[in-house]
């Protein structure tokens, strides 16, 4: 039920393993969760904002 996962800031951390454990489709943890704001630019670009619009939001302190 508990598995150890690598964390870039804290080293190895014991955490709950994926549940339920299914034989045909076992759950896995492929990557750690992103840091806060790590994917902001990519997400905003996906919804149609241009790089200059994202930079403007960042300059105004909105992001």
Asked if 48 and 63 sit in the same domain, the reply is yes
Asked if 20 and 38 sit in the same domain, the reply is no
Domain residues for 49? 33-63
Q: Over 90: is that where the pLDDT of 59 sits?
A: yes
pLDDT at 32: 78
Q: Give 54 or 2, the one with higher predicted confidence.
A: 54
As for how many domains the chain has, the answer is 2
**Prediction pTM value:** 0.59
Residues 62, 20: Cα–Cα separation, whole Å: 40
Per-residue b or e along 26-62, where b marks 16 or more CB atoms closer than 10 Å to that residue's CB: eeeeeeeeeeeeeeeeeebeeeeeeeeebeeeeeeee
pLDDT at 5: 87
Q: Is the dihedral of CA 28, 31, 37, 42 positive or negative?
A: negative
pLDDT at 50: 97
Residues 61, 49: Cα–Cα separation, whole Å: 16
8-55, pLDDT tens digit by residue?
888 898 988 888 888 888 888 877 788 899 999 999 999 999 999 999
Asked if 37 and 22 sit in the same domain, the reply is no
């Amino acid at each position: 039920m508990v598995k150890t996962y690598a964390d870039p800031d804290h080293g190895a951390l014991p955490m709950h393993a994926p549940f339920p454990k299914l034989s045909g489709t076992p759950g896995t943890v492929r990557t750690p969760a992103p840091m806060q704001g790590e994917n902001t630019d990519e997400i905003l670009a996906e919804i149609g904002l241009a790089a200059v619009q994202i930079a403007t939001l960042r300059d105004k302190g909105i992001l």
